[in-house]
Amino acid sequence: MSGYFKEIFDGGKSLLVGLGITFKQMIQPVVTERYPRTAPKMPPRYRGHIDLVRDEEGNNKCIACGMCQRNCPTGCITIKGEKPEGAKKKVLTFYRLDFTTCSLCGICVESCPTDALEFSKEYNLAGYSAGDFVFDLLKRCEERRR
Amino acid sequence: MAELPEIFRVMAYVGGIMAFVGLNAAFLVWMERKVAGHIQRRIGPKEVGPFGILQSLADGIKLMSKQLVVPAKADPILYRVAPALTMITAVMVFVVIPFGPALVARDINIGLLLIFAIASVNVLALLIGGWGSNNKYSVISATRAVSQNVAYEVPMLITVVTMVMIVGSMNLNEIVGQQGNLLQWYIFPWNGSILLPVAFVIFFICSLAETNRAPFDLGEAESELVAGFHTEYGGMGFGLFFLGEYGHVFVGCALASILFLGGWQCPFGWMPGVHWMMIKTYLLIFVVMWIRWTYPRTTLYGLLNLSWKVMVPFSLAVLLVTAAMLKVF
């Protein structure tokens, strides 16, 4: 008989504890984001497609050595560089990333001798044709400068 | 209103209560979604109107614009009668609910009895809706709803008998009238019987089960029975079941606040009126929602055991102790 009352008492107590937990959760701030209204801030190690790093003056740090192009397992990077008259170093003139074949392995970022590449925080990629995912990174870099 | 012909009172009642049941259901759906959202750390409805408050009206318009489809092998009469019946019972019990000192459609002296007489017809609506749909899930759900309602009607009515013994009246306005301030509320043990708080808890749990609310919503257990007795209903057939359910939730909570929490009386004696009734009832409805989003659904055996092994003995104990105390003091 005492077990009967104990069960009811313990059960009732655990029910009240449960109500307390949900009430505490209810008065705490919400954790969801209103996605189309507010853009989420991506975590620092998020891997979007690669992008050129800009130095203090806003120029890219690429020396057009071609390491990324050679190391890319799927061959999705095409770069061109030239040495202007009288200059000592090569200058990047063209950097194309074909994101349709990129697997985001990050070998290009690792192999870059001047740390000129980084993962962007771009998550909002949607397009109507494969051509929408071929990016001209040099142009993107110039656009961000403006 | 005494000088106006009777027909105006009826019309005011029908119009007012129909509007109230509809708007109350719309508001409660919104409130339920908001409470659910915040308990799960979400926002809930947000886009339609300020704070999403027009969301349920938009849903209502969508439901009304849908075609009413009767399944080929369903019983055409029972299938159509069931949603109307659940709505009719929900509207009819509002006849005797005193919203304010003078704001009651019919101040009759057996109001409490009338509410239980009509509200128990609601289970018949669920039964014929489930049976008439000719769907195995609906039938299982209907039988569950009936066994559950039968099981919980017993302790609920025993606690109500206890209250009637203490108050000495079945007139709801008289019951409210005796609870002038906080200390006279019938939830407190010094007002007639030391077991009154237990009676309140039993009444509240039973009204949850009677209105098929979680954690006793076995009738529409989505994980097993699709949507239970309203599986086959679409459009406003489903909408009426929904309106009826929220109407019954309101009536259950209003009755709990009338019997135990002083109805339209103010706890401190200032300005008794409709607003106090609304505050108390909606607070209780909030508790109902809070319970729904806290507990998982019980099993059918757990539900019946709770009724026959716990609720019935406890309500009988409350009845006996109250009778003894009334006799002695």
Q: What is the pTM of this model?
A: 0.79
Span A103-115, mean pLDDT? Answer: 88
CA B29, B30, B31, B34 dihedral sign is: positive
Question: Residues 199..228 of B with a Cβ closer than 8 Å to A: which?
Answer: none
Hey, where are the domains in chain B?
Answer: 69-328
Give the nearest chain B residue to A11 (CA atoms).
B306
Whether A19 sits inside 8 A of B291 (CB atoms) is: yes
Predicted pLDDT at B286 = 92
Predicted confidence at residue B92, as pLDDT, reads 86
| B291 Cβ under 8 Å from any chain A Cβ | yes
Q: Quote the percentage of chain B above a pLDDT of 70.
A: 98
Q: Tell me how far the alpha carbon of residue B233 is from its chain's centroid.
A: 22
The number of C-beta contacts closer than 8 angstroms across A and B is 36
Checking if the pLDDT of B115 tops 80, the result is: yes
The DSSP code for A103 is -
Interface test with A, best of B42, B294, B306 (most A CBs within 10 A): B294
Compute how many other C-beta atoms are within 10 angstroms of the C-beta atom of residue B113.
Answer: 15
Residue B29 C-alpha, separation from nearest chain A C-alpha, in angstroms = 18
Tell me the CA distances in angstroms from B60 to A45, B22, B65, B326, one per residue in order.
45, 10, 9, 50
pLDDT digits (tens, 9 = 90+) for A19-47: 999 999 888 888 888 888 888 888 888 88
Mean per-residue pLDDT, B198-216: 87
**Spatial distance between the Cα atoms of B98 and B101, rounded to a whole number of angstroms:** 7
To the nearest whole Å, the CA of A36 is away from the closest chain B CA by: 12
Question: What pLDDT does A146 receive?
Answer: 66
- The pLDDT, as a whole number, for residue B1 is 47
pLDDT digits (tens, 9 = 90+) for B61-108: 888 898 888 888 888 888 888 888 888 888 888 888 888 777 777 778
**Residue B276 in this model has a pLDDT that exceeds 50:** yes
The whole-number average pLDDT for the span A108-114 is: 88
Contact B242, B62 (CB under 8 A): no
Mean pLDDT of B8-24: 85
A17: pLDDT confidence band, cut at 50, 70 and 90? very high
Asked if B66 has any chain A CB less than 8 Å from its own CB, the reply is no
Percent of chain A with pLDDT strictly greater than 90 = 3
Least confident of B97-101, B144-148, B150-154, B266-270: B266-270
Q: Is the pLDDT of residue A55 over 70?
A: yes
How far apart CA B290 and CA B8 sit, in angstroms, is: 39
pLDDT of B182 strictly over 80:
no
A140 close to A121: Cβ distance less than 8 angstroms: no
A50-145 in CATH: which number?
3.30.70.3270
Which residues are CB-neighbours of B306 under 8 A, at least 6 positions away? Answer: B298
Flag if B39 and A25 touch (Cβ within 8 Å).
Answer: yes
Contact between B35 and A26 using a beta-carbon 8 Å cutoff: yes
Task: Name the residue facing B43 among A22, A25, A32 (closest C-beta).
Answer: A32
